[in-house]
Structure 1
Amino acid sequence: MRSLAITFPGGLKTNDYWRRHHPQMFGGAVEKRNVWAAPEAPRDEPDAFGAEMAKFLDDPFRGARERRVLLPKENALLLETRVATMALEAAKVARAEVDLILSCSLFPDVMGIGHATFLAGELGLTHSAAWNLETACSGAFAVFETACALVRAGQYRNVLGVVSCTYSRTIEEHDTMSWFSGDGAGAFVVSDVPAGEGLVASAMLHSAETCNAFVIDVTDDRARGKQVVRFRAEKSASKILRQVSEPYLRKTADLALRKAGLGISDINWLVVNTPTAWYAPFCARVLGFDPARTIDTFSRYANCGPALMPVNLYTAAAELPIRRGDLVLVHTVGSSSSSGSAIVRWGDVALGPPPAPPVEVL
């Protein structure tokens, strides 16, 4: 990885937005419909996921405070074009030097087609391939792993990976999922790096057990006179994710560490995607890792899907900070997609500019 950049849309919604506009969403009856509702029959000795989740059950927003959202004139392609430009400028890679774009959009602006080719056109690329690669919230992990493999194989020299998430236009405001979901985008350039740096080992497994946790529908939007995508959680979502998160983490992390010939004590930093406020401490607890050496952006950005991996890596590099030569264990989890872990020896990764300040949506 030669560069890493992140960006967000211009709008920001705080918890007060829902208190003002949707007061009916609060109270005991609605609490039971919260996607992260308390278990109906809690265990005497909760598992690691349940134990960390329990710390947030008194808060209806479950630790979320702010989330970035699209403003009326913004869309996913706009975010992707902006963040791709940032990543290329940080890497000092000219557009003519890009051989391949790998794109993952959750969700793209047009139904049925990803943004790779649209993005190539927006960037004015004339000699690059452009592919869409989708595995939901683990999309950035899959893009990075694929880019590394293609560069190592000598098939391509410079691969631009771009991911985005636009939950705010697919989850209805009166659904409690909107409390935990935000928008964002990330991009990185993958090229040859000095020996010993970059991706050391990785492991990825499908998450078929989660296929019934969330549903994507297409419905009529009469106000706008067109069909729109709607994303919602099934009643079983929280239970399913509580059951599978630890096995996915243990299996992929153990396999990646074994491939690398390392133990958890060799790792300097743990960077996981944070779909909940308790996911980072949960992962640290399961792996026996120091939670002070993790990063958690959930209170700032909520769950921004496939953008979480670049967002958390960028924040960790800027704030912890991760240094050149440090070993980083990266873990992502996704519903109806994949779960993965990777060991990365951090190199000379150029960071794009910090996110621009938003405008609060009142």
Structure 2
Amino acid sequence: MTSCSIGIRSVAVQFPREIRTNDYWSEKYPDLAAPVASRRSRIARSVPANPSGFDIWSQEVAPYLSDRFRGNVERRVLSGAETALSLESQAIQEAIAAANLQPDDIDLAIATSLFSDTLGFGQAAKLGLRCPAWNLESTCASALVALQTARALIQTGEYRHILVVVSQMGSKAVEETDTLSWSMGDAAGAFIVSEMPAHQGVLATHIISAGAASGAYAYELASDRLSIRTGDNASAIAETAVDFVRTCTQAVLDKAGVSLDEIDWFAFNTPTAWYASVCARALGIDPARTWNLYPRYANIGPVFPLANLDWAARGQKLKANDLILVYANGAGATAVATLMRWGNVALGCEPAPPLSSAAAQTTVQLAASEPTQPAEIPNLSLEKLLATAPSEREIQLETYLLSWFASSLQKPIHQFNPQQTFATLLDSLMALMLKSRIEVDLQVQVPIEQLFGDRTIHQLAEYILTQLTLTTLTSSPLSVEERETLRL
């Protein structure tokens, strides 16, 4: 076992040639988001003195609710003969060359490929190296999990130079007619883990289970590929984001014996346009100490740690001996914080610049607190609803739901009625906001499919009442009226 300093020796990132802008969907699918494109969607809410994780998420998401594309600007997507393997191979060559090594100097390769070219295992074995290779997967946290694994293996003295290659091909995993496709980008990256000069490299890592967000995404087999869609538990990402980043950050600081104020830079993975600001507000750090690459790449999953490090080092933001905390949240798998002291890390070729000035904007701006009065949504709780006569609960629930729509969409309540379908009212983000509000207020789990398509506000109220009635069967005796309701 060796006690030498170990860290990243070189980094290379690769992106497809095609840069797809929002115009692609506007021109090809003009009606895709028509219900939300023409309205000013904004959930007005006051921020409490001690905000919960969901309050922080809601505050930071609010500025994006009036944007049809929810902060998406550009994304890199595979085209022509490009494949996950071709991008990975190019990143590998650049990382090895930048480290001033030869392919035979690599003792081990660890690969993590999210939505790779074909179904099955063994992507690592296709990389053209003669060293041992295996696959590792922890969704968006995979790169940092692989870094910890490589560091631990080098500490044993068994290996000297370990190559990690990471990729995500999100554009092939989502149907273009699903608005989730707006946020999915393609990318690959590679880095070499080796012994570093004293006091540089990885200082500490802390990994926790992100199982509470399991089901946030649903994965399905579609012919010869794995597809992804929004899952029933998607709201868990919003509900756990703050706790996860706080827990991982504090633990890794304690392990390294440093304080939050000593960190020079923070690099967060950004599966949404507002994720970096959520993390900055959760930790109480100056947003100038971090950045947001989401506008130029959209969600590139496990490649984000590499893209963040490459961008910051290339732009002279990150310099030798700076302390940087890198954080990634892999929904349903693991959340990871890694603290490292940056060394003289060699870089591969520079990625192509974005097409628009909006995509080039990397600063993080925290959302302003709402100066308005709290939204006029009835203060309905589970206890209050159950204390109401059964014959009045449906009306009370419908009023609660109608008020939520009126407040969220800033329209008079008389413009809404219980027979309106969700297809005319909600997109996926608004659906998640409503789902979370119901689950917090009424303690009823609402499957995401209850909020899409031709289902109505009235049907949602009926569904909630049914779930509440079933719950009471095991908790308290039912009245005659409640038994009759259940029978019907």
In the other structure, the counterpart of 2:227 is 230
In the other structure, the counterpart of 2:28 is 21
Contact 1:10 1:357 in 2 (8 A): no
How many angstroms does 1:356 deviate by? 3.7
In the other structure, the counterpart of 2:451 is none
Mapping for residues 238-277 of structure 1, pairs under 5 Å: 239-277=235-273
Contact 1:206 1:339 in 2 (8 A): yes
For 2:270 and 2:215, the matched residues in 1 are separated by: 21
Secondary structure at 2:325's aligned position in 1? strand
Contact 1:6 1:314 in 2 (8 A): yes
For 1:299 and 1:357, the matched residues in 2 are separated by: 12
1:279 correspondence with 2:286: no
The equivalent position to 2:103 in structure 1, one of 95, 105, 108, is: 95
How many angstroms does 1:236 deviate by? 3.8
For 2:47 and 2:78, the matched residues in 1 are separated by: 42
For 2:122 and 2:246, the matched residues in 1 are separated by: 32
Mapping for residues 107-186 of structure 1, pairs under 5 Å: 107-119=115-127, 121=128, 125-126=129-130, 128-186=131-189
In the other structure, the counterpart of 2:15 is 8
In the other structure, the counterpart of 1:351 is 347
Deviations 1:110-149 (A, max 9, x none): 2121411111x2xxx32x1101010011111111111111
How many angstroms does 1:82 deviate by? 0.4
In the other structure, the counterpart of 2:203 is 200
Contact 1:212 1:234 in 2 (8 A): yes
Contact 1:328 1:344 in 2 (8 A): yes
Structure with the bigger percentage of strand: 1
Equivalent position amino acid for 1:193 in 2: M
For 1:283 and 1:271, the matched residues in 2 are separated by: 10
Distance 1:357 1:55, change over 3 A: closer
How many angstroms does 1:28 deviate by? 2.6
Equivalent position amino acid for 2:219 in 1: I
Distance 1:153 1:317, change over 3 A: same
For 2:293 and 2:11, the matched residues in 1 are separated by: 16
For 2:32 and 2:217, the matched residues in 1 are separated by: 20
For 1:300 and 1:58, the matched residues in 2 are separated by: 20
Contact 2:85 2:117 in 1 (8 A): yes
Equivalent position amino acid for 2:25 in 1: W
Equivalent position amino acid for 1:26 in 2: A
In the other structure, the counterpart of 2:465 is none
Contact 2:139 2:330 in 1 (8 A): yes
Distance 1:31 1:219, change over 3 A: farther
Normalising by structure 1, we get a TM-score of: 0.90
The equivalent position to 1:214 in structure 2, one of 213, 217, 223, is: 217
Contact 2:95 2:192 in 1 (8 A): yes
Secondary structure at 1:51's aligned position in 2? helix
Q: Which has the higher Rg, Structure 1 or Structure 2?
A: 2
Normalising by structure 2, we get a TM-score of: 0.67
Mapping for residues 314-329 of structure 1, pairs under 5 Å: 314-329=310-325
Distance 1:359 1:113, change over 3 A: farther
Contact 2:107 2:159 in 1 (8 A): yes
How many angstroms does 1:235 deviate by? 4.7
For 1:144 and 1:182, the matched residues in 2 are separated by: 22
Distance 1:285 1:359, change over 3 A: closer
How many angstroms does 1:24 deviate by? 1.5
In structure 1, the gaps of 5 or more residues are: 221-226
Contact 1:257 1:263 in 2 (8 A): yes
Equivalent position amino acid for 2:95 in 1: A
For 1:310 and 1:52, the matched residues in 2 are separated by: 25
How many angstroms does 1:212 deviate by? 1.1
For 2:319 and 2:156, the matched residues in 1 are separated by: 27
Mapping for residues 307-318 of structure 1, pairs under 5 Å: 307-318=303-314
Deviations 1:51-85 (A, max 9, x none): 11112111121111000000031111111000011
For 2:200 and 2:317, the matched residues in 1 are separated by: 17
Q: Identity over aligned residues, as a percent?
A: 40
For 2:317 and 2:80, the matched residues in 1 are separated by: 35
For 1:18 and 1:130, the matched residues in 2 are separated by: 39
RMSD of aligned Cα (Å): 2.1
Contact 1:152 1:192 in 2 (8 A): no
How many angstroms does 1:157 deviate by? 0.3
For 1:277 and 1:59, the matched residues in 2 are separated by: 11
How many angstroms does 1:167 deviate by? 0.5
Contact 1:108 1:114 in 2 (8 A): no
Secondary structure at 1:248's aligned position in 2? helix
- Aligned pairs, number: 343
